[in-house]
Amino acid sequence: MKLEVRSPDPIGEAAYQRIAEIVIAESGASGLIDEMKVYIDTEEPVTIVYVKYRGAERRRTLKELATIEAEEGGVRVAMEDELFAVEALRELWRAFGRSAVEQISRLEFFVYGAKPEDVEKVEVQVAPVAIEEIVGEVVHQILPEGFRVRKFIHGQGMLTVVASEDPIQSKWLEMAERLAKGETP
């Protein structure tokens, strides 16, 4: 995941970099987000968050989502992201049968009699609506609490939010477009 925070204030920029890192880590959404860009200017006042996320367009294999290790008697699966754990367990049951899959912990499973290459191929999908809700919640937690005026711009696999204490200005929407394109806001 690529995270970029920009601000005219270097201290604010460093603080928001850390805030975004913590929020993403605690949310368990790091496996969903390809790219996040945050622009914050307390003088304007405006905050813009652009998120490009994955998962809405395709299924993902357990090879992409977990550490898979051969052990005596089967295969241990350690999920890297809690978001996919429930669906992964369902798909393992479907592929190998309930009696062959043991849930060791919230994020770990053991598949008896399986080979790593067979487990790696198992595909997992999370509903796009759930993904959008999770990404939206991450953005909500990153935005400054006082910035209650918000404009949401949704697209396929992306979300941009412009937030302020004041009514949203057209120049901020233009800044959001530039940020999403990788340009300087």
pLDDT of residue 30: 81
What's residue 55's pLDDT?
A: 61
Domain holding 134, by residue range, is 2-56+127-180
Q: Residue 120: helix, strand or coil by DSSP? A: helix
Whether residues 137 and 117 share a domain: the answer is no
What are 106-159's pLDDT values in tens digits? 999 999 999 999 999 999 986 666 778 888 999 999 999 999 999 999 888 899
Separation CA 54–CA 58 (nearest Å): 8
* Same domain flag for 45 and 13: yes
Q: Examine the pLDDT at 45 and tell me if it is beyond 60.
A: yes
Instruction: Check whether 38 has a pLDDT greater than 90.
Output: yes
CATH of the domain at 47: 3.30.160
Residues 64 and 85 in one domain: yes
| pTM higher than 0.75 | no
Residue 101 lies in a domain: yes
Question: Is the distance from CB of 59 to CB of 68 less than 8 angstroms?
Answer: no
Split at pLDDT 50, 70, 90, the class of 82 is confident
Per-residue model confidence (pLDDT) at position 134: 85
Residue 185: inside a domain, yes or no? Answer: no
Given a cut of 70, whether residue 57 has pLDDT beyond it is no
Q: Which residues contact 105 (CB under 8 A, 6 or more apart)?
A: none
Q: Of 105, 124, 143, which residue sits at a domain end?
A: 124
Domain count, the chain: 2
- What pLDDT is stored for residue 56 in this prediction? 52
Helices (H), 44-184: 62-65, 85-96, 116-120, 128-142, 170-180
Tell me the mean pLDDT in the region 72-78: 97
pLDDT the model gives residue 37: 96
Please say which residue of 124, 148, 168 terminates a domain.
124
